[in-house]
Amino acid sequence: MKTNPMRESSICPVDFTLAVHVSPGDTYEWSKVLLARAHFNGTLELLTAAWERVLGYGRHEIKGKTLCQLMGSSQAAAAEGVAAILDARNPGPVGLNLRCRDGQGKCLTLHRRFAPHERTVYIVAEETGDVA
């Protein structure tokens, strides 16, 4: 039986380190859509400036943080979130709760498209509410 390379435990990072894509010439840079891509090397790259608006962090504050830090939860919860994002067996939307700079929680729904040949998952996120 062939294993799914998107979900092999040996290549699944426990947590994502955040990176920020900066290229003012890109058309989507100014989009209000939350675009990101998750790499198998453990990097979650935020592609649009809309993340700053939603999370309240400047790019210099986001870069280098981990998903666990933004979730404000345990390493185990972050690992569970990362596993859900990378799980191609369940291609439906993934819910994620993140803490904003002001301490408020935001619930996001991540819609994913898998690109196994690039070892990447492309993500479009939408705000689905506040977390108490």
CB-CB contact of 107 with 128 (8 Å):
yes
Model pLDDT for residues 36-83, shown as the tens digit of each residue:
999 988 899 998 888 988 999 988 898 898 888 888 777 888 888 888
Arch. (CATH architecture) of 17-131: 2-Layer Sandwich (3.30)
CB-CB contact of 42 with 16 (8 Å):
yes
For the chain, the structural domain boundaries read: 17-131
Q: Examine the pLDDT at 6 and tell me if it is beyond 80.
A: no
pTM score, two decimals? 0.81
From CA 94, how far away is CA 10, in angstroms rounded? 22
State phi, psi for 131 to the nearest 5 degrees: -100, 135
